[in-house]
Structure 1
């Protein structure tokens, strides 16, 4: 077991879930993604550099009560309380048992902090599956705590009466939020809040069925949203926004082997709703630029993402490669390479 990821987690420990003006701490996620892509030799140096921008972890204020935990959902000021709570949970059960207990409870708020709660949890789960260490267990507590403290339900509840569409067919049925109801120059989750009261969006969650074949559903959904990324990513800001419509569902894929099928189906149904929400609140109905396989290959995707040093490019490359290995859709590779180029260009 390579321990460099644990060294990176030690460098990043005691940091908060957010920094600056509410930007998510991507440190543990991107470090794990680097390791997953075979770049273990980059993990520690990357973590040291990224650590400089981060703030300290908020202290606990009052306990999250086991029988009243719902009262603490969606309150970022309770992040420290949730960390203590989940550390206690992990002290009394296996990490997989804690995940099985809490994933369905948190599913409806999966868009929390633009998906970053579930993404951080997913990377922590894969890390633990490689080998269990105390640092990795503590990171799972942090991921679950972020998911809980930024919990954000969306309009619409999954029901049995659905349109029965595949995600790739359902995207054309998503009604976009009119421009005069949108907000600009703020965080993704604040933009998504503008869907509250937008009645057409309430139907979106029921455009698709709860999947019985979770992998096929995930691949169909991410293939659709990687094209929405390509149609909407015009600069660094828009690229980062639409990257999350793919990395969010990709995190469910990381957790799926450790969860009952019913829970995976529920998470994917809510992931569909969450990615659709980002598209509805921020996106435009455009056709993606023409793309082809060309000479884009795994090595090029990894090299360009790592060279950027950008946490979003790194995470996007990892999930695109992972999905491409299951479903060789060239759009995955093209989107990752596109993101690396645009993030390098706009941050130069």
Structure 2
């Protein structure tokens, strides 16, 4: 739907949230900035504060500062979650001095190798922030980009040592070819460390427009796949779709030479999440009724779970019947927001 929100509800919600940190309990991401943007983008600004009231108990205070991040030493601070406030300050200063697209163009290639940190939530938050800014620039939206980029820098986590396996011609078949990891630890970092083999898909793409087409194909395939495979881990598997969709949303705000590298990073992230949480067998899922996009969004909003709302937002971007079916599957198998 992607409706341009002019009600001010999003700005009010972001201002409420910018006193909060990017995580809680030392590892769980603060999803509220992403959800309120998704609601506003899909014409439900009226629900932003009601949803936020339900989620507010999960927010923690903004973390303490350690030392300023500078151009001279930023590499040593990269991936240090203790420096989240320092990184947010760094991007706040940068965005006060230069247009947000210029800041994004400099930092996107620096941060892209660490797209996997924070269970991919930082890049997803950046994608939501960029979408909001593309529809209208104002202080709360710029501040949200500073918080999102700061979180990504603080949780930056590269992945290396992956053995390339033969891929398939399509994203859907390549996701089917991803081997599951044999790892019992439930923590994302441990599972990510266990990913050692992934198929190569679209690895030869260098043309920016082709990269966009392939990235859209990946988002569509991962979204559709959730309907039959989401039960492997109903929360974490949404990121196989929402992470590449965050990258897709950002492409138009990036220099074209960054589009193909963004596709390749997004594929690796989506494939890695698939490997980490894929079920042993798919299931056949048929929804009880065929619903419109607006009805599916209403189901997700009533359910309230932050991952369900964000996955539904991605399903609405894809926009076809299998994507809406996948969103309904997420509503069905996920635990509602209390």
State the TM-score, normalized to the length of structure 2: 0.90
Partner of 2:52: 47
Deviation at residue 22 of structure 1 after TM alignment: 1.5
Give the Cα separation in 2 of the matches to 1:286 and 1:207: 26
- More displaced, 18-27 or 45-54? 45-54
Superposed counterparts of 1:37-186, under 5 Å: 37-156=42-161, 165-178=169-182, 182-186=183-187
The separation in 1 between residues aligned to 2:279 and 2:206, in whole angstroms, is 27
Paired residue total: 331
Return the alpha-carbon distance in structure 2 between the equivalents of residues 132 and 158 of structure 1: 42
Q: Which runs of 5+ in 2 are unaligned?
A: 1-5
**Higher mean Cα deviation, 115-124 or 287-296?**
287-296
d(CA) in 2 for partners of 1:292, 1:210: 36
Whether contact under 8 Å (1:156, 1:205) holds in the other structure is no
Deviation, structure 1 residue 49: 2.8
Establish whether residue 215 from structure 1 lines up as the match of residue 220 from structure 2: no
> CA, structure 1 residues 255+45, in 2 after alignment: closer, same or farther (shift >3 Å)?
same
In angstroms, what is the RMSD of aligned CA positions? 2.5
Does the aligned pair in 2 maintain the 1:29–1:120 contact within 8 Å? yes
SS in 1 for 2:231: coil
Q: Alignment partner of 1:295: what SS? A: coil
8 Å CA contact 1:76–1:149 kept in 2: the answer is: yes
Runs of 5+ unmatched residues, structure 1? none
Counterpart position of 1:337: 328
Contact 1:163–1:209 (8 Å) recurs in 2: no
Partner of 1:304: 299
Mapped to 1, the partners of 2:283 and 2:103 lie a distance apart of 40
Shift of 1:157: 7.8
Distance 1:173 1:234 in 2: 18
1:262 aligns with 2:257: yes
Among 245, 252, 255, the alignment partner of 1:250 is 245
Once residues 331 and 342 of structure 1 are traced to their aligned partners in structure 2, the CA distance between those partners, rounded to angstroms, is 17
How far is the alpha carbon of 1:333 from its aligned partner? 0.6
TM-score under structure 1 length normalisation: 0.87
| Residue number in structure 1 paired with 2:272 | 277
What is the rounded CA distance, in whole Å, between the counterparts of 1:221 and 1:97 in structure 2?
A: 27
